[in-house]
Structure 1
């Protein structure tokens, strides 16, 4: 009996790990029934790595955050081949979004990854949002809904499961849930009209998974974050919206919930609330088994019904089966290379003002806005590399928040910023640069402010192709 419970408890866990090869403890846990693994750029992801994990447990759900744009795990070195959600929302061509989703799914199919923790279905209703921003298709619920559905169809059309996140919507927040617990101050009616339509659209499109957001939403539950709230996870998502797929937590080491409870208690409370899979983005052997044992103890003590744990494990295995039943879709997707779709989208998303053209190597000043912790710290803006490819001799200087601009000389100056609309200090930096050099060119890779400079290029996302599109336009 206890062995069966341990296996069920392991089935609902999806841990991450350090290192470029899977550690022995993780392999052993997979052999004991561990239901999944979440991979990050730090793991040097490739098909042989995934094959080594599947050798221990062929049914394991291998998951990854591959949103495109700023959040990429497979292409973190050079930047994503796809411009990201906001760029797709700016274009507003659902067929193009589906093509991009299919190519992201194709990339994951080639690596034999089960589940993409994407797309972000959040409506970026608050311009001050520090963690969603360009990860959202935009601030309009209808736009976000139709592109969420298109992205889901694209990824799943390639035989890889998609996951809409962060339920019930992380868009109207001013706090990064990696760092603290955000509160959504909105009525139930506003949430229904603004935040829920993209999740309804994802469910109608057949999305296989939904990820909870670590959010306090007093209109839905005044006492507990959504991840731990039965009113939100079961009452709203299951009963009202009718979702019957796998429900996974956002990473439970995020401070929004980790500051409240131990990892084991978070897992137990989330499962009791109606969650099926617990994402532990970073753990160790001891940490994993402590969570497993906490779940087993909760069942034995009657805190967590065994039927609820069995139901959760069943949904994890159902998602694994969904993937196993679609090898033909993945084979077809792998043969269907739409190689230029990312650059096509990046070019279409550019918003440009002014007429300055670069005809010689510039000085690129990277104004280093602090990106959210969802973005791998190694992710480049790509603008320096893209301009160097066209104009050899391009130089770079990096400016930290509160720092001074580098000295300017006769070279053209390109100021690369992110989310100027959100950061007053970035806008002040642009204004200061323009006082010194009115011919400064500004490239904004985030949510832009009013255009400024001899030329202003908004890419609406951080990616290799977004940078290439900007460099093409500036050297046209």
Structure 2
């Protein structure tokens, strides 16, 4: 057998199933070369985007190298945005849409996202988040979810899918079979969802079933353990979960996309190349390799796939099947030459989604000048360093420079009982100042306003509601 020719054939198939990221805001030569040679997909991250002009130039380079590639990014709307990584999303986010519970509005939000994506040349959105957020202390899902009701999450997952795919952007529901009932971030460790099969079917799987019935193009795996389904392998590496359940029982025929394989839950113990082979063997079709890939990183993954085929630990037919599925997605959602102008989402009454306390009445009645303070809060890796809260739409002051004559609005997110905002609010109140705590996130004790999201549109809504001028 001509192993050189065989290696070339396997490499061709391997390219079709890989979705790397890259470093910088211009297209690296090695990525352009691989695109021209048949690289199936590319994922753009916040660090690759400086502004619209630069992004347009970058995407033109990508399209010139490969008109057929699947070009993806995470554009959930709300807290998780890549197109608006520098200024914050222009959409409210899933939790707000779930609170308003208007599928037409959810569909409109997704449609606006899709039109904007397509205007830059993207044809795969790694959204919607279909997780049912039943654990209030979930560190990575929270407001990315449409809510805690399986029925509601299923309905809005379907609506979001219709909105995206109606504009010819493929949707990808995540994180299968459900990341909502976890208290660990899979970017950092390997979470466990310890539920019985009945609960899993009725709760976690309901949104994915709805997405499949809607005709969703792709579903993303999660790096979580679900002992009820597979006591030995995380979902991304489980043929029982991806094959028997997703393909067999649920009847999904689209593309199975992995969550990023550079996450600790996937590759901390084995490295990305081994994780890539395991995911393919389990039934994944398109491997999201993660951010900041170098040519050497990429070549190690290619080499691992070729080696696995030679050694017989990865069936060539499984690799061929994955490549055929990703090619079919690329063909169906291929970008044409037609112009695609963004559409603006009609402004919803986002304040109807908020929870408020009785303290608002007295605070609003006071004639004292207003000062805004934003309490630094670390975001999870899915969100990144995106502008949020009052600081994204107005001038704020440091906590130690608050005018003692002012009434104060405090902004915080990821609020728990130990959050610094509680101590700051108590100190200001002891000094006689009127204070409102605005929690830009999932509900938590001690908040006077809970917005269910941190995007600038929600911050602006809070200030309009309280009649506070914005910058």
User: TM-score, with normalisation over the residues of structure 1?
Assistant: 0.91
Contact 1:79 1:382 in 2 (8 A): no
Structure 2 gaps of 5+ residues are 1-5
Change (3 A) 1:314 1:158: same
Partner secondary structure for residue 344 of structure 1: coil
User: How far apart, CA to CA, are the structure 1 residues paired with 2:349 and 2:43?
Assistant: 28
2:414 to 413, 416, 419: 419
User: How far apart, CA to CA, are the structure 2 residues paired with 1:248 and 1:53?
Assistant: 21
Residue 396 (structure 1) aligned with residue 406 (structure 2): no
Please name the residue that 1:446 is paired with.
Answer: 441
Partner secondary structure for residue 397 of structure 2: strand
The offset of 1:422, in angstroms, is 6.7
Contact 2:111 2:166 in 1 (8 A): yes
Residue 409 (structure 1) aligned with residue 401 (structure 2): no
Provide Cα deviations, 1:138-161, integer angstroms capped at 9, x if missing partner: 111111000000001011111101
1:350 to 338, 344, 354: 354
Residue 10 (structure 1) aligned with residue 18 (structure 2): no
The offset of 1:101, in angstroms, is 0.6
User: How far apart, CA to CA, are the structure 2 residues paired with 1:336 and 1:460?
Assistant: 26
Provide Cα deviations, 1:236-260, integer angstroms capped at 9, x if missing partner: 1110111111111111110112212
Contact 2:410 2:421 in 1 (8 A): no
Contact 1:96 1:345 in 2 (8 A): no
Change (3 A) 1:128 1:5: same
User: How far apart, CA to CA, are the structure 1 residues paired with 2:374 and 2:218?
Assistant: 37
Please name the residue that 1:214 is paired with.
Answer: 223
Give 1:268-283 correspondences, 5 Å limit: 268-282=277-291, 283=293
The offset of 1:30, in angstroms, is 1.0
2:321 to 311, 315, 324: 311
Contact 2:389 2:411 in 1 (8 A): no
Change (3 A) 1:231 1:84: same
Change (3 A) 1:169 1:422: farther
The offset of 1:417, in angstroms, is 1.2
2:154 to 133, 145, 156: 145
The offset of 1:187, in angstroms, is 1.1
1:375 to 369, 376, 383: 383
The offset of 1:432, in angstroms, is 4.3
Please name the residue that 2:206 is paired with.
Answer: 197
Please name the residue that 1:435 is paired with.
Answer: 430
Provide Cα deviations, 1:370-415, integer angstroms capped at 9, x if missing partner: 21110121x11141343x3xxxxx44226xxxxxx66652122111
The offset of 1:117, in angstroms, is 0.3
Provide Cα deviations, 1:428-466, integer angstroms capped at 9, x if missing partner: 5544443344510221110122465xxx32221111111
User: TM-score, with normalisation over the residues of structure 2?
Assistant: 0.92
Partner secondary structure for residue 398 of structure 2: strand
Provide Cα deviations, 1:258-310, integer angstroms capped at 9, x if missing partner: 21212111010100000001101121100001101100111111110000000
Change (3 A) 1:81 1:360: farther
Change (3 A) 1:345 1:28: farther
Over the aligned positions, Cα root-mean-square deviation in angstroms equals 2.0
Partner secondary structure for residue 329 of structure 2: helix
The alignment of Structure 1 onto Structure 2 pairs a total of residues equal to: 454
User: How far apart, CA to CA, are the structure 2 residues paired with 1:298 and 1:138?
Assistant: 41
Contact 2:130 2:207 in 1 (8 A): yes
